[in-house]
Structure 1
Amino acid sequence: MPQSALGRARDLWAGLARVPVAFPASGDVTVVVSPGSSLCPPGWTGVVALDGAILATVPAAGLVEPVRSALLGLGAADLARLPAHLPALDVLGPATLAYLDTADFTRHHLPAPDIPGPTTPGHLAAAPVTAGVERLPVDHPAIRALLSSVPEEEAAESGLEEIGSAAYAVREGGDAIAAAGFRPWLDTAAHVSVLTAPRYRGRGLARLAASAAVADALATGLLPQWRARPEPSRRVARALGFREYGAQISLRLQPQASAAPR
């Protein structure tokens, strides 16, 4: 019987801890020392909550007990409060973690009259994937222009520059007005990224582009993963059939961290 999306997600994050560890059972907290952890930036503390269980990695043994103490009794929805219980110098997140089982996938199509196809000739790399979507290399000028149309921080947050798949683009004329793709993680997950040009938002284009990227990921046997903070991004994921199973947060702690009293 195929493993569920949640089971695969647990195995994924245990592998990203970069030390031998199993994701704990629901209700449990596991904290391990892993200076090379991929749950967080180097030297940071990484925390992942999935389905009522928490796995955390710390860069030094002295942080194990303070971090574990701070995490006891917390759930995914509580991770935003974690920095208040630890001496955090910097924080990334929290972001929700959502995953997709094949049976839950809702594919989106857009009627061709709503979004015209490309009118500029010469795009030899472009091959139609579904109505209104083209498959482009991530270094295609149209994708680079889309990334340049938003602030640098927003472009980085989208993750579109880091994808390892093709870029699935919705174009109007020769311009990419929305695009999505994914970056493989441990040959297990497809971390989905999506970006829509500001003046085209609210038209369902993110769902359209991301739908093509997710279909590609599923076709190659990968587990689609959606990590997001803003509610509009989370709505796109839910529209495609993703289920939110937990959250992730990273903290840069003082070396002699201690948990604050609750």
Structure 2
Amino acid sequence: MSIHPLLSRARGLWEDLAHVPVSFPPAGGVKVAVSPESGLCPAGWVGMVALGESAIVTVPTESTATFVRDALVGLPAQAIVDGTSVRTVLPIARTLGPAALSYVSADGFRPVQTGTRTLEQLPAGHPDLRRLEESAGEEDAGEAGMDEITSPAFVVREHDQVVAAAGYRGWPSLTAHIGVLTAPAQRGQGLARITASAAVVHALATGLLPQWRARPLASRRVAASLGFEELGFQLSIEIV
């Protein structure tokens, strides 16, 4: 059975980020690999990514690999990226996620018109983006990652203030990791869709695969409205 092209590209990205030779099992299941330099999780943590019916897991040491393999035996791929399920088989100190991983192709993309809004481009790192992050708060700004984008920022202003912005960071495997941020007082007006749509247009025009990683349900809904397909989840855990 052939693999969905989006799924194949997404898996290739996370296999590259593992920084060791590891592949998603073609017939489903979980593959555990030792990778102290893994890009799936913070240093010293266990990184788990499930895409489709398969998952890869990276661990920092051989001893951790044996422990984790034994603990995950019998768990389906979807269960290992469920914090509740994993806590029943592993002693966890802290978790990051799970975050949904969504992707869109040029054919599946549903662009949004700006309507009466004026869309502007700013260079990455522009001071107006920093002011938007301050207004949004540390948690939301961290989720969006606008301080890490390598593309232009696509923004909407109100009263000369940037109230919404989107852009992307270039990731390995020709991937564009999308970031979107809206000021709290302006949420619910469709600004995230407008700015994110512009960022996706830019990414697709340069041959990149747009990736949307999100925990909040509202963010996942924005991605879905633009045609992104939710293919899996990422979870990082620190073992006690």
Q: Same fold (TM over 0.5)?
A: yes
Paired-residue identity, %: 50
> Aligned residue for 1:80?
83
Amino acid at match of 1:47: M
TM-score (norm 2): 0.93
> Aligned residue for 2:192?
206
Moved over 6 A (4+): none
CA RMSD of aligned residues (A): 1.5
Q: Whole-Å Cα distance in 2 between the matches of residues 247 and 187 of structure 1?
A: 18
Confirm or deny that 1:168 pairs with 2:154.
yes
Change in 2 beyond 3 A, CA 1:59/1:26:
same
* 5+ residue gaps, structure 2: none
Cα distance, 1:96 vs structure 2: 0.6
> Aligned residue for 2:104?
100
* Contact kept? 2:83, 2:95, Cα under 8 Å: no
> Aligned residue for 2:133?
147
Change in 2 beyond 3 A, CA 1:102/1:26:
farther
Q: Whole-Å Cα distance in 2 between the matches of residues 193 and 91 of structure 1?
A: 21
TM-score (norm 1): 0.85
Q: Report matched runs for 1:180-259 at 5 Å.
A: 180-254=166-240
Confirm or deny that 1:89 pairs with 2:93.
yes
Amino acid at match of 1:135: Q
- For residues 125-177 of structure 1, the C-alpha deviation after alignment (integer angstroms, 9 at most, x for no partner) is xxxxxxx2111012222211111102212211111111111111011231111
Amino acid at match of 2:83: A
Q: 2:121 aligns with which of 116, 121, 135?
A: 135
Task: Report which of the two structures shows the higher radius of gyration computed on alpha carbons.
Answer: 1
> Aligned residue for 2:21?
20
